[in-house]
Structure 1
């Protein structure tokens, strides 16, 4: 493992709490001039039902000026409001209408808005559809990943038939439930099919748009017991469901191509189960470990646009409270540390600030959220020289 000094540039204003959100989405405009950003009025506590989050753009060519475009009351510190670019002129994000979660498409130039009947999770640009989950159920069962102020209509059901993973057409607003939570539970081995509440999280489309993955989680007993996780992959119409990762633990992941994805997971072997980053081949039992013996802890992993590098981070080191940012060469697992960032905030999902590193579309810079200077802010780091 090598350490390569890289200079981080703060790209958010000197006052206020700024962040973007999750690691598998890019805040960059296609011109690379603007970054999407969220601005909060406080930090250090979970969002409440009436707390508003401003969404807007950072102008990298104009002293990093923040231009607010809208507000939302459907957000959390981990993932923001799922703010994303749809094209050069439109953004999409989640919001609340009364006690209902919706998604909003906003023209950043004209201000024209269109409301969709369900919240979004990820976009599939090639097909014009998005994935959707129940953020009220997430808020109840996995605090820090859902939205306050929305009642969970499925609260009395451990594994509902009418809720789970949805896809929604951006043009027609038509939504379809493609895999229910009840169906996911039925796919479990009978010995572990019971237990407490089940839910879904972290849905992501394969690059070609035909397949998508989702994490199925459940409490084996009481809600206070540690949850277990498996990964399901399926076609976007809900057919060809496959339990790709099924040893009880799976966390962050990213598709490399239409046939492979990288995930921090548990894999059973001849000498027992082991945890690490594995590259899985969809619809097979094939799993090849990346940087075995070196990448031993969970992180937010994503492939560079050309698939040659993996961007990853760590949780705080107990010794000094710093999070490490790294690049991993996919061909041989060589690791290059490109920064360490102090994290003074508690390591709990509801309020913590993970780096959540994200690639610029050209693969020559990355963007992170961090609190190492005492407030939430966004930073960019040039990785072009290292990749060259």
Structure 2
């Protein structure tokens, strides 16, 4: 195995008999008592999933015991199937799947040791920290296939058929009742330069709920060709969970030429964290208050690389930041002291130089804290054998 760090003791917690991973950095893979960490097991990491190709959903213990729960055919290499523990049902998980009868995506509830016990009418993209609701968007419209599902191919319509009744939805996790939070029509009305959406394919992505479950952040993106996506434009929106006062916080001018690559809510209800290269000197950890217009950005720390997935520790004192691999294929994980800006390298992971065509199947670290802040987990392929989940105890 290639060494990760000469200082920190990283441990692989998934078996070495195949490819295992969790997915994105903006969600919690642990159950309430941190005895189980959700993972997917897949057969291959070299190509996009095919229609009908399944992934196994299960969990591992911190000492590496794997248990399979169920399967799904709605998964991707970057974000899995959005698998999460159900906040209102401690012994249940939520995950997305494809219904072959209705030909629709939906979220399912699986009770550990029993089986499927319920479904929601839409797929769920993310959950609120208070556990009361989930956020849904049309994953089938996402043209970047590393972030969507094989059974729902991208269509030819540039805009959704019904702009007034499609968009971002909230799902009550207790009742299953859904409501339209913000319509595409409203988003376009708040668009910073709406004229540029004409003749462009538009979609939603990366919805996140803030720390006190009062506001939602999401991205509206647009591209000239949904079947060959490159040079897309990004517009960040926020609104309250009542759907009032939706606003385009960051239009594409703040994103163009990769001046931002990732975003997440911060430590307070209105704070947003981005990795921004707004001064042209490199990517930095930057926060701003989305309720201020115009906003005033504050730099927390310098960057250690390009394209960091960043997330605050549960107590808000530390910040995890990974990096995209460079020409040598090394992805670096750093922990930053928020008060001082001091950076400590937790590991360097050899993910091999990426091929030109493997952007959708690449393996990013996607660092994640445990709820108590004592564990960090990442997805890695540094052993040149299998994708796996690695754990560091802090």
Q: What is the TM-score when the length of structure 1 is the normalising length?
A: 0.89
Matched, 1:332 2:340: yes
**Distance in 2 of aligned mates of 1:289 and 1:221:** 35
**Deviations for 1:89-119, whole angstroms, at most 9, x for unmatched residues?**
1110000101210001111132242111100
> 1:273 deviation in Å?
11
**Distance in 1 of aligned mates of 2:281 and 2:245:** 27
Aligned residue pairs, count: 371
**Distance in 1 of aligned mates of 2:124 and 2:166:** 14
Matched, 1:207 2:216: no
Report matched runs for 1:292-371 at 5 Å: 292=302, 294-295=303-304, 297-318=306-327, 320-344=328-352, 346=355, 348-371=358-381
SS in 1 for 2:301: coil
Q: CA RMSD in A?
A: 2.3
**Deviations for 1:182-205, whole angstroms, at most 9, x for unmatched residues?**
332332224534341111100000
Report matched runs for 1:27-38 at 5 Å: 27-38=29-40
Partner of 1:164: 167
**Distance in 1 of aligned mates of 2:219 and 2:370:** 26
Distance 1:24 1:362, change over 3 A: same
Partner of 2:286: 278
Q: What is the TM-score when the length of structure 2 is the normalising length?
A: 0.88
Q: Is the 8 A contact 2:216 2:239 kept in 1?
A: yes
SS in 2 for 1:192: helix
| Further displaced range: 28-37 or 358-367 | 28-37
SS in 2 for 1:144: helix
| Further displaced range: 112-121 or 305-314 | 112-121
Distance 1:96 1:112, change over 3 A: closer
> 1:277 deviation in Å?
3.1
> 1:236 deviation in Å?
1.2
Matched, 1:181 2:192: no
**Deviations for 1:125-183, whole angstroms, at most 9, x for unmatched residues?**
41511011111111xx222111111255x641335503321111112212222222333
Structure 1 residues not aligned, in runs of 5+: 384-388
**Distance in 2 of aligned mates of 1:75 and 1:65:** 23
> 1:35 deviation in Å?
1.2
SS in 1 for 2:122: coil
Q: Is the 8 A contact 2:197 2:222 kept in 1?
A: no
1:19 pairs, out of 18, 21, 37, with 21
Partner of 1:241: 246
**Distance in 1 of aligned mates of 2:141 and 2:309:** 23
